Amino acid sequence: MNIKNFTFLVSFTFSVLLSQTISFEKNSTKLTTIPLAEMEIPETLEPPVGGRMGDFHTPELVGSFTSPSSKTPMDVAWDGTYYYVSHGGSSDYIYRYDEQFNQVDFQFVNIDSRGLVQHPVDGKLYMKNYYSEGFYRLNTDPFDGTAEYLFNLSGSSSQAMFTFSADGQYILTHQSGSLKKYDFSTGQLIESLTLNNVFYNGIANTGNYLLTFSGGNNYTISAHDEQGNYIGDIIFPTVVNSPYGTPSYANGLCFTTSGMTWSAWDIDDGFITTPGCTDPYADNFDASANEDDGSCAGYPNNGSYSLSFDGVDDYTSLDWSDQL
């Protein structure tokens, strides 16, 4: 509950129950009652949609590397120590790189990759197979080329790529705007959604929004929330289109691929910060702000009486036993 609206909410709730309300008298700790007829109750406030959700920083190139594989680049994942790069078209090697994008080693994995992603909770790496939409957990300790089969993602397209929901509860598969949500523990299909103006199959989750390749032009990646609502576009300074590998997101970086070259971008978590009052109940609410700067002021009250809190050791105790 927004503590700044405590006066209005207490007044409204208990006036319905008791036809009167209780508040603190000015300059006194004495409790007093105000007849309902004398109260000024503000009209119901409908909070507008706050926060401008479409302003993004221009991505900054951090580094790049070229994969030695001749297969289609699919995904980049991070396990806390190494990057893992997968390819598809048939079973292929997975290559490991250090944080400076130097190749360390590789192992053949008998999976035709349609995604390699780190789970946001358990930290392990998971893969989707082209064949039968099989879902696997890749063994990385030791990294020996083996993977544990978990289940099939029934109803998912064989070409669909995948990522996880930010809370790790769901597997999200994507192909050309078709987004499907599966239970992570069982592989059961939960929900199907549509992302508008999205092409190809790549998908990634920054933890704040989903990234997909936009059909607008070869320089654009679109952002959506996990309910499929469009947020905005991220415009890159170079071509980033790819049917599969773009985009990936690992170790806080967005990876795109052109040919066999992977590029790592700092997208600064995307949003341009616009400070201001983000509380729709405040008189100075700023619909263009996406970061609260503590400036909110001008809250409604009930005339002569109100409760004020400064955020330090704030509490009150009300005994209603003799009123019920």
Q: pLDDT tens track of the chain, all 324 residues?
A: 444 444 444 443 333 333 333 333 333 333 333 343 343 433 433 332 323 334 577 899 999 999 999 999 999 999 999 999 999 999 999 999 999 999 999 999 999 999 999 999 999 999 999 988 999 999 999 999 999 999 999 887 888 999 999 999 999 999 988 999 999 999 999 999 998 878 788 999 999 899 998 765 688 888 899 999 888 888 888 888 777 878 999 999 999 998 889 999 998 755 556 778 988 888 899 877 767 888 999 886 655 555 666 666 666 665 555 555
DSSP secondary-structure letter at 285? Answer: -
Residues forming CATH 2.120.10.30 domain(s) in the chain: 60-266
What is the token pair recorded at 233?
């576009």
- Alpha carbons 12 and 4: distance in angstroms, whole number: 14
Asked if 180 and 165 count as a contact pair (C-beta separation under 8 A), the reply is: no
CATH of domain 60-266: 2.120.10.30
Q: Give the SS3 label for residue 314.
A: coil
16: enclosing H helix or E strand: helix 6-18
- Alpha carbons 3 and 6: distance in angstroms, whole number: 5
Kindly report the pTM of this predicted structure: 0.68
What is the token pair recorded at 174?
């994507």
